[in-house]
Structure 1
């Protein structure tokens, strides 16, 4: 029996296949850059596929094919904007694959974000895959998988491994299912979970790209909690320490506020790992991201927000 969810999933996958057949590509930028580009004269209405599915612009029904229009409607992803249409899904390119996620602007509390952080996270994963001492990966999990790029990249790098994608947001899991199917990753396990609640066993690799900002509306995809947005990142480190096999790794990509030259996140991670049988490395990948956040009251003490990677290996 075909369910409404199956119909929506298949519509999304078929739409991705149509876009791939037309060699669609789009690199998703920050929300601030997106707003600036869309505000330029002539950019309010889409004139091509990138305008419809990348820049999330309104479009007349002559811009895309009747089949694409029908697939958007079947997936519940077609919105009416006066005399024009708007797609409720955006498509981004990464490593030769297409990933569906929420359209711009991501204002809903259950929005599924994809952007520059995703590309940096993917880069960090590829670097980790190439490290010889990373060891064999038989079981891996992506905590807070979002649209699924991390879990899908792991499954492609370790085709014999059991790979699990978890997220607290059901909408994220829907996108992950569609994106995995479109990428040909059929055996990815996708589960709703708060961190690793309800997911049993140990892992050789745990990865995460969590939200790390302080969002006044506490939107799931954006709000990290804690003093400077590092609350969820620290909870992931604590969770991973109890669930890594000996020789297993945690790879955390996140953001860290820097105050008077020091990141409170790094200090708190050091205290958390002190006395444990682990080796770890903390690195800045980008020294200055989301600079507009420094104008908010939550970051009045911060001089910058850095994109960082934390790698932890369990030794015993």
Structure 2
């Protein structure tokens, strides 16, 4: 049974969906540029409130909507105005709650362009594979995108959504309820430490930046953010069933033309039991990160997709 704040947030999502609300979540840089335009200082529509994270006057929302935000504990005061501390974004028919812009808090739950690309990687795999999925897990589930897509496509499967962030698990539970998904379970887990057994499908979209604030949704560890991605490859391969697959969507800092993640993957997956592919999904993402400390020698950041299949 849901707590009252979660039920209020779920009901708000249902109301937005019934009203035909849609919002495509953009990169932080694009979001900032849109909000910096003249006339964008204050919300005028529901998309401004719950998509663009703009402050709004109390008269913009109905009394019921304001009450729901208060009960859900996602309303903050900003002078004489208010601001929602969550965003709602759409992915096809899914409506997903996640953290408001800007995502500065250490427990922020990210959703954005990487989420859409991650979803496409999962969709493409499910369209191609003939291996039935009985048990799956989404590592570092965030808003639950990966787990929800698998649970909807394989309704007989047991799907786990795991994360170290309690707020991510809260939002995933609400998003699952909003999507009407019943074959999804939640667990607090550092990679796979919190769940037992093996899996037919493991998916992950981990953070891959070097973040000086070490925010969990953004910091991938190591010198340039690849540490968590490598750990996922290592631990996931140990937990794949014969015939099972790992889908890792992540990013990599390219230095002097070298992809250190690809080089490490080649070493780890050198045995005959592994068949794998590695491709650049987008050769140049988050260019603004190159201005941050630690990235002085990085040429670009590429979004990549690794698919690993364990022989049957």
Interval containing the TM-score (normalised by the shorter chain): over 0.9
Q: CA deviation at 1:137?
A: 0.4
Q: CA deviation at 1:256?
A: 0.8
Give the alignment of 1:117-266 within 5 angstroms.
Answer: 117-133=114-130, 135-266=131-262
Aligned residue for 1:147, secondary structure, equals coil
Query: Once the two structures are superposed, what CA deviation does each residue of 1:97-150 show, in whole Å capped at 9, x if it has no partner?
Result: 1100001111110000000000000011110011134x1100000000001011
Q: How many residue pairs end up in the alignment?
A: 312
The CA RMSD over aligned residues, in Å, is 1.1
Q: What residue in structure 2 maps to residue 286 of structure 1?
A: 282
Aligned mate of 1:271, from 261, 267, 277? 267
Aligned residue for 1:197, secondary structure, equals coil
Aligned residue for 1:130, secondary structure, equals helix
Q: Is the 8 A contact 2:134 2:156 kept in 1?
A: yes
CA separation of 1:112 and 1:38: change in aligned 2, threshold 3 A: same
Q: Is the 8 A contact 1:48 1:64 kept in 2?
A: no
Q: Which moves more between the two structures, 250-259 or 272-281?
A: 272-281
Aligned residue for 1:313, secondary structure, equals strand
Q: What are the ranges of 5 or more consecutive residues in structure 2 without an aligned counterpart?
A: none
Q: Which moves more between the two structures, 275-284 or 16-25?
A: 275-284
Q: CA deviation at 1:63?
A: 1.1
Q: Which runs of 4+ in 1 moved over 2 A?
A: none
Q: Is the 8 A contact 2:157 2:183 kept in 1?
A: no
Aligned residue for 1:198, secondary structure, equals coil
Q: Distance in 2 between matches of 1:270 and 1:127?
A: 23
Q: TM-score, normalised by structure 1?
A: 0.97
Aligned mate of 2:109, from 109, 112, 115? 112
Q: What are the ranges of 5 or more consecutive residues in structure 1 without an aligned counterpart?
A: none
Q: What residue in structure 2 maps to residue 99 of structure 1?
A: 96
Q: CA deviation at 1:14?
A: 0.2
Give the alignment of 1:6-45 within 5 angstroms.
Answer: 6-45=3-42
Residue 74 (structure 2) pairs with residue 77 (structure 1): yes
Q: TM-score, normalised by structure 2?
A: 0.98
Q: Distance in 2 between matches of 1:314 and 1:9?
A: 39
Q: CA deviation at 1:158?
A: 0.3
Q: Distance in 1 between matches of 2:275 and 2:210?
A: 29
